[in-house]
Amino acid sequence: MGATGVDASDGARAERRLRILHLIIVLGETNGQYNEHCLPLMHERDLAICTYFGPQLEWPDEIAVFAGDGTLRGFFRALGAALDGQHYDVIHAHAPHTGALLTFGLAVHPRRWRLFRKLVYTVQDSYYDYKLRNKLLMLPAIATFRRVVFCGHAAYDSYPPLWKRLVGRRSRVVQNAADLERIERAVGDAGPGDDASFDVLSVGRLEKVKDPVTVLSAFRRADDDRSTLTFVGAGALEAELAREIDSSRLGDRVALAGLVPRDDVFLRCARADLFVSASHGEGLPVAVIEAMAAGCPVVLSDIPYHHEVADGADFVPFVRTGDVAGFAREIERFRSMPPEERRSIGLEGRKIVSGRFGLPTMHAGYEKVYREIL
């Protein structure tokens, strides 16, 4: 992608393809910014990605990648190459670390100060989901970027009044979304799951805030020797969960699948009988949206971020956070349903997300944000 210079008029700028530089931590199979902001738009925008860590996958030729090597020096080298090699309409950071490093990288180069007017930052989680370190890292972007986008209304509402005043009129809300067309392609030939077993699925980071321990405890309490449970994801609690699975003698029916390719996640959702999230905090939960889009019934913790996705859907049960008995009751209730009833509930869930959380809606929201700062 060669530089083409600055357009002569706002009209010309509005007509041509937007040139966007996305700053992300790592280019990997499960990276939402790559899968949702870049891949679907690579034929509609001129896209570049700057990463902190080295890429973990091959990317299409239509996307330029400037890869760091996991060090500060490597990241700033990649950022410098990205900024020197192209003129961008928007520079979009997606994480506290990249937002803070971008701010520093521009601030120490006076000739790049003009780029501050092009900056967009997306807040991907609720206030309570961030560690103190990440909250501090977020502050430079919150204070200085031209637009600060929150990934959901509940996520925005979670921030203290002081933070909201700091952002002021620069804040926008663009809800997270899922690639519904990709999900449809992936699960189109999946067929129904095995009705002889009852398969429970949980997708997300294996971290305290996601509370996979409650999911495992509820499954064990509701166990009937014909059910299975699969965790998709990785994190600090993986070893603890493995020990608990081993001590409970559930190793033949509970699996820690780790990180798996995105399309495989969609297939697992389509073939599962129930998706369970016991999370205490989210931004706007894409994993839940993807499970519903794949036609899987869901049981969700009673938090505002889940309600933003499924509120008004009386077929979606909400369980108090940490309530092992409550989650166990719902697992038992869905297991006792005829398979046809579960599939019917799954189809109702698909209708809800298809009307509200598709990528075209999210892309249109970001397009508006981008055009505001041109």
- Per domain, the residue ranges of the chain are 10-177+359-372, 180-354
Name 23's Cβ contacts closer than 8 Å, sequence gap at least 6.
49, 50, 51, 79, 91, 92, 93, 94, 95, 98, 99, 101, 102
CA atoms within 13 A on the CB side of 55: 14
How much is the pLDDT for 8?
47
What CATH architecture applies to the domain 10-177+359-372? 3-Layer(aba) Sandwich (3.40)
Say whether pTM exceeds 0.85: yes
Mean pLDDT, consecutive 10-residue stretches, the chain (374 aa), reads: 44 73 93 92 96 95 97 97 94 97 96 96 94 96 97 97 96 96 86 77 95 97 91 96 94 94 93 97 95 97 96 92 98 96 95 92 96 92
The count of other CB atoms within 10 Å of the CB of residue 127 is 16
How much is the pLDDT for 4?
39
How much is the pLDDT for 3?
39
Q: Whose CA is closest to 126, among 62, 210, 252, 43? A: 210
How much is the pLDDT for 2?
39
Please check whether the two domains, 10-177+359-372 and 180-354, share a CATH topology.
Answer: yes
Name 371's Cβ contacts closer than 8 Å, sequence gap at least 6.
14
| Alpha-carbon distances, residue 294 vs 30, 266, 290 (angstroms) | 17, 6, 6
How much is the pLDDT for 188?
83
How much is the pLDDT for 5?
43
Q: Which fold has domain 180-354?
A: Rossmann fold (3.40.50)
How much is the pLDDT for 311?
82
